Structure 1
Amino acid sequence: MAARSAGKQPPDPVRQNRLLCERVRKELQYQGLHTQYGVNPLRRVHTITKKPMSWHDNIEEPADARFLNLIHHAALEPTKKYSEPQTESQEIGWNTTPLVHVDRTDCRLYFPRHRTEITK
């Protein structure tokens, strides 16, 4: 092994560059950018149907009302689940009702957008 590698000369940089350029040119020639994707028509899709006589596919279980209530209760917002905030971060924005009722006729607290010639 050592005798073989001792007789080899280091690769010529000009030849190495020419080989690299040729390889890159061939790769770019056959490389394409795909922007539209779809189902491969050549790949077989195996569909597995249910067995008609299997007992576990044909069982109709009644819905458990207690379990459904538990799931619906877990999906509620924290303000509807609890009477008080449970964490310190829930304290921010816990009370969402406005302190002062918005009166749209009072110009002191209500500033609607006005349409003028400049804003058109």
Structure 2
Amino acid sequence: MAARSGDRSPPDALQNRFRSERADKERRWQLLFTQYTVNTLQPVHMVARKPMSWHENVHLPINDEFLKLLHRAAEVPRKKYSEPQTESQEIGWHSTPLVPLDRSDTRFYFPRKTTEITIHGYPAPRGEKPKTTTAGNL
């Protein structure tokens, strides 16, 4: 016969000790935030004003610090930071070529060339069918 839910035995001392240790560690690393700012990682969505509303047409002085935060949030990561912040930002972070492009140097510049052999491989212009030769047309 199964025990009723009210007749449970008390948890043993070892489980209580583990739970209290975990609670102490969690409390030690919790931070209480009291100062809030604009999240620079989220895009800012502007809403159009209502033209007939009097309280929205009152011109107030602009907070320069808030404007700086908004402009910084809208910048691309390469302008915000001197180094990549994530692993995925490392790809393409340094996009300037190591050697300047010199079109006369054939070691680094390979233009596409066409010859009589490769010309037939290109697709026909739109609307035209490719020319094929068959045994009956010869």
Normalised-by-shorter TM-score class = 0.3 to 0.5
Could you say which structure has the higher helix fraction? 1
Higher relative contact order (CA 8 A, sep 6+): 2
Normalised TM-score (structure 2) = 0.41
Normalised TM-score (structure 1) = 0.46
